[in-house]
Amino acid sequence: MTILIKHGRLIDPKNDRDERVDILIRGDAIEKIDKNLSGAAADRVIDAEGLVVAPGLIDVHVHLREPGFEWKETIRTGTMAAAKGGFTSVVCMANTDPVNDNKSVTEYIMEKARAEGVVRVFPCGAVTKGLKGEDLSEMGEMRAAGAVAISDDGKSVRNAQLFLKAMEYARLFDLAVICHCEDDALGRGVVHEGLASLVSGLDPVPCLAEEIIVQRDIALAAYVGSPVHITHISTEGSIAIIRGEKRRYDKVTADTCPHYFTLTDEATLTYDTATKVNPPLRAASDVAALKEGLRDGTIDIIATDHAPHDATSKDVEFNLASSGISGLETALALCLGLVEEGILDLKGLIRKMTVNPARLLDLPFGEAAPGKPADLIVFSDRAEWTIDRGAFLSKGKNTPFHGRKVRGKNLLTIVGGRIVYSDPDFR
Amino acid sequence: MSWTHKDLLGVRELSREEILFLLDTADSFRDISRRDIKKVPTLRGKTVITLFYEPSTRTRVSFEIAAKRLSADAVNISTASSSVVKGESLVDTGRNLQSMRPDVIVIRHSMPGAPHMLSRILDCSIINAGDGAHEHPTQALLDLFTIREKKETVDGLKIAIIGDIAHSRVARSNIFALKKFDTEITCCAPLTMLPPGLASLGVKVTDRLDEAVADKDVIMMLRIQKERGGTSYIPSIREYASLYCLNEEHVGRARKDVIIMHPGPMNRGVEISDAVADGPYSVILDQVENGVAVRMAILYLLSGGES
């Protein structure tokens, strides 16, 4: 099978490329990239005139809910949502049931992904058995089975000594360590501590709950000389800490999610449980700081923290509702908002969603060059549309962005030379 | 003026004019409760359900009496004897009640936003009778009614609110309501019971009781929830009482015509001394009486009546 993508604007940050070219895909790899390949024979020709072609996006933080919570999401539906959103690789967190803390669960996920997955799936193993924060999980065996990172995502490893040992041990297998930073006692509330919580009476979570663990986890990593990745940062203080620490220690990376730079805690004033997420939506000053952190490179990566939930888990009192936002199908459009606002240029944005996550996880994806795997997307950076949760391919319809008008839409997703998603309106 | 709100979820959403309109309406209902025959046919044929997920004496009985004096049919559900104990969700309970076509549901719940949830899915009127630490709008309205009754106007008054502000829906509703008038509000508690950023609501904040009561026209005491004693908020009820129990000496620092308010139930000897609770400045029982009139007014207005 050969595919020719013609006249697209290829943006490939890894190879510092931004130009109008034709791309020829043969089998599972990119064969040629040239100004004019109109002579080439191809089974399928795609006219990308006026559109952007980029390496497939890589999401270092999703929840696919399988095994154990198949009514919320499956590897099948989660990867379909990923493909629709422009993601060709996703890293799925370990808080499944059973927890992904041993190779048999990792193998199960890999097997399911091979059989039913639409995009590439890379499991993230648990740091500790059962996410209990007590005993180290068998990360070597999980690595051999396909895991690319470890994290107790959903909480922090409370025992600093244990986490320090985990960071040291993970280096044996070059596993990225992804830190969800939250002091469990300070983080007991459900919304950001600020003017909105003062008014709503909902239990508040101070920024401090995140920041003291960001500081701790970086200190632990620096102490043992391990790389450390801080995920879904949400506060101005975290940005300041990471910005400062990066000057002293070059193995710190960080990501944030579209909802943290798009919404503020004001959205929680309606008690709409779609706005309940952990860490919580923060104040306008935090949003401004995150944007500055994205602009100046303090934040390396944008992830979705795609957290699909069934209606029953959200259609309850705010305190009782599950935390999380179904994010794979809205991320690209919300991120393109950063370009429209002038925070990032297109290449800078794509860098944070392709080459930077690939580098964190040492994946051979996230670039578009001859001989490389043909993981590509074609998107419009201008198309206007209205987010409709009813049209989500994800089982999780939980989004605070339902009804929002956005610009920019993924139209075509190619994984390993196969078209896995094509927008119905795309010729 | 006509009433345009479907629900009463909080006082924050009401304008000063709407609040005064409601208090005027309550004025016209108050005499009914003082007659021999305490009943008018105004809401005949209407159904009011009280749905209480938290224990309550005053508020629930007050709503029930208010409904009955207006000839509405009042049905009371307390969750201990309902299908909630069988695990029914709030949404399902709400939808089932809706099918029986009530006109008003009065809900009390331990979690903020529970009435808002019902409001989104049900057609009938919802009255918030207290949702967690968020609001208790009818309490604030009856407090305003009582203040206006004793002081003739709410404008120009200096008011102290004393107690566990952070976890108090009464404090929040009263702050929201009183800020719509020309008032000076001082909140007082140990720092552990003051929510961060409280001053941004436009109130003064102090941790000194002496300072808080000085020169005040109105002192509102909040109930200390005894279950919070011995936790991270205060080391013990005894120590709290030694620092924050309102006694006659404190009252002496306030204005000569000060009124002392309390939403009940009181912890005598904890936040308020017997002498103050039963003393000449106390209007605590007036608050309870006025509660019926204010709740009659809101039931009447939500059911489509106009003054």
Phi, psi of A349 (to 5 degrees): -65, -50
Give a yes or no: residue B103 inside a domain.
yes
Residue A395 CB-density burial (10 A; 0-12 exposed, 13-18 middle, 19+ buried): buried
Greatest CA span in chain B, whole angstroms? 56
Rounded to 5°, angle at Cα A390 from A386 and A393: 100
Cis, peptide link before residue A98, omega less than 30° from 0: yes
Helix H or strand E segment including A352 = helix A346-353
Q: Are residues A269 and A129 both part of a single domain?
A: yes
Mean pLDDT, range A223-239, rounded to an integer: 98
Among candidate residues A292, A260, A297, the one with its CA nearest the CA of residue A275: A260
Question: Which candidate, A376, A424, A427, A382, places its Cα nearest to that of A53?
Answer: A376
Is residue A427 a part of any domain in this protein?
Answer: no
- B131 and B141 inside one domain: no
Sign of CA dihedral A352, A354, A358, A359: negative
User: How far does A212 lie from chain B, in Å, by closest CA?
Assistant: 18
Which residues of chain A have a CB within 8 Å of the CB of B89?
A: 312, 315-316
* Paired tokens of B30: 């108050």
Mutate to test the interface with B, among A198, A314, A402 (most CBs of B within 10 A): A198
Dihedral, B26, B10, B146, B213 alpha carbons, nearest 10: -170
Chain B residues contacting A, CB < 8 Å? Answer: 12, 89-91, 109, 111-114, 116-117, 131-135, 169, 172, 195-198, 200-201
- B60 and B147 both lie in a single domain: no
Kindly report the CATH number assigned to the domain that includes residue A303. Answer: 3.20.20.140
* Catalytic residue (one of A22, A183, A217, A305): A305
The closest CB to that of B113, out of A193, A271, A315, belongs to: A271
Instruction: Give the residue ranges of DSSP H helices in chain B.
Output: 16-30, 58-69, 90-99, 114-121, 137-151, 169-178, 209-213, 237-244, 248-253, 274-277, 284-302
A408, A379 Cβ separation under 8 angstroms: yes
Nearest 10 degrees: CA dihedral of A148, A152, A156, A160?
Answer: -70
pLDDT at B81: 67
Whether residues B163 and B39 fall in one domain: no
Instruction: Give the DSSP per-residue string, B268-287.
Output: BTTTB-HHHHTSTTB-HHHH
- Residues B123, B161, single domain; the answer is no
Token digits for A243? 């910005």
Q: Tell me the chain A residues in contact with residue B112 when contact means C-beta distances shorter than 8 Å.
A: 200-202, 271, 318-319
Burial status of residue B80 (CB atoms within 10 A of its CB: 0-12, 13-18, 19 or more)? exposed
At position B252, the amino acid (one-letter code) is G
Q: Are A15 and A159 in a shared domain?
A: no
Same domain, yes or no: B25 and B156? no
Domain enclosing residue A203, as ranges? 56-361
d(Cα A326, Cα B156) in Å, to the nearest integer? 50
The Cα–Cα gap between A252 and A241 comes to 11
pLDDT of residue B232: 78
**CB-CB: which of B90, B131, B195 is closest to A198?**
B195
Q: What does the pLDDT read at residue B304?
A: 80
| A286 tagged catalytic | no
Distance from CA of B32 to the nearest CA of A (A): 36
Average pLDDT value for chain A:
97
A-B C-beta contacts closer than 8 Å: 59
Q: How far is A152 from chain B (nearest CA, A)?
A: 28
- The closest of B74, B129, B58, B108 to B303, measured between CA atoms, is B74
Task: Please check whether residue A144 is in contact with residue A123, taking contact to mean a CB–CB distance below 8 angstroms.
Answer: no
Point out the residues of chain B with pLDDT beneath 70: 81-85, 227-231, 305-307
Per-residue pLDDT at A427: 66
Q: How many CB atoms lie within 10 A of CB B195?
A: 21
pTM of the model: 0.95
> Residue B235 belongs to a domain with what CATH number?
3.40.50.1370
How far apart CA A366 and CA A353 sit, in angstroms, is 8
Number of domains in chain A: 2
Per-residue model confidence (pLDDT) at position A295:
98
Mean pLDDT of A363-380: 98
Residues B246, B236 within the same domain: yes
Do B57 and B86 share a domain, yes or no? Answer: yes
One domain, residues A86 and A201: yes
Instruction: Render pLDDT for A282-324 as a digit per residue (tens, 0 to 9).
Output: 999 999 999 999 999 999 999 999 999 999 999 999 999 999 9
Rounded distance between C-alpha atoms, residue B307 and residue B305, angstroms: 7
Q: How many helices (H) and strands (E) are present in chain B, helices listed first?
A: 11, 9
Q: Do B128 and B221 share a domain, yes or no?
A: no
Distance from CA of A318 to the nearest CA of B (A): 7
Query: pLDDT tens digits, residue range A164-217?
Result: 999 999 999 999 999 999 999 999 999 999 999 999 999 999 999 999 999 999
Residues B222 and B162 sit within 8 Å (Cβ to Cβ): yes
Residues A37 and A96 reside in one and the same domain: no
Phi (first) and psi of residue A111, to 5 degrees: -65, -45
**Cross-chain Cβ contact A271/B197 below 8 Å:** no
Note the pLDDT of residue B57.
87
B225 shares a domain with B103: no
Q: Which residues contact B63 (CB under 8 A, 6 or more apart)?
A: B48, B50, B74, B106, B127, B129, B138, B295, B299
Say yes or no: A138 and A42 in one domain.
no
Residues of B in contact with A318 (CB under 8 A): 111-113
State whether A175 and A75 are in the same domain: yes
Same domain, B172 and B264: yes
**What is the per-residue pLDDT across B104-157, written as a single tens digit (0 to 9) for each?**
999 999 999 999 999 999 999 999 999 999 999 999 999 999 999 999 999 999
pLDDT for the residue A218:
98
Task: Let me know whether A256 and A349 are in one domain.
Answer: yes
- What is the average pLDDT across A400-426? 97
**Running DSSP on this structure, what letter comes out for residue A266?**
G
In a domain, B5, yes or no: no
Q: Does residue A275 lie in a domain region?
A: yes
Same domain, yes or no: B149 and B245: yes
- For residue B51, the model assigns a pLDDT of 95
* In the predicted structure, residue A236 carries a pLDDT above the cut 80: yes
Quote the pLDDT of residue B117. 96
Report the domain count for chain B.
2
Q: Are residues A263 and A210 located together in one domain of the fold?
A: yes
Identify whether residues B97 and B113 lie together within a single domain: yes
H or E, element range at A195? helix A195-200
Q: Do B90 and A317 touch (CB under 8 A)?
A: yes
In sequence order, what are the residues at sequence separation of 6 or more whose Cβ sits closer than 8 angstroms to the Cβ of residue B139? B59, B130, B169, B170, B173, B174, B263, B291
Residue A250 in tokens: 């070059």
Do A105 and A44 belong together in one domain? Answer: no
The answer to whether residue B2 sits within a structural domain is: no
User: Smallest CA–CA separation between A317 and chain B, in Å?
Assistant: 6
Backbone angles phi, psi at B241, to 5 degrees: -60, -35
Residues A231 and A149: their CA atoms lie apart, in Å, by 12
Partners of A320 on chain B (C-beta within 8 Å) are 111
DSSP assigned state of A363: -
What is the C-alpha to C-alpha distance for residues A121 and A82, in angstroms, rounded to an integer? Answer: 10
- Is-contact A345 A329, C-beta < 8 A? no
Same domain, A246 and A346: yes
Residues A402, A295 within the same domain: no
Distance CA A271, CA A317 (A): 8
| Domain of B28, in residue numbers | 16-135+288-302
Q: What residues of chain B lie within 8 A of the CB of A186, using their CB?
A: none
Checking ipTM against 0.90, whether it exceeds it is yes
> Could you read off the pLDDT of A71-108 as tens digits, one per residue?
999 999 999 999 999 999 999 999 999 999 999 999 99
Instruction: Say yes or no: A133 and A46 in one domain.
Output: no
Specify the pairing of strand A52-55 against strand A376-386.
antiparallel
Interface contact B111-A318, CB threshold 8 A: yes
Assign residue A406 the CATH number of its domain. 2.30.40.10
User: How far is the CA of A396 from the CAs of A15, A71, A385, A399, B89, in angstroms?
Assistant: 36, 9, 20, 8, 20
Interchain CB distance below 8 Å, A320 and B111: yes
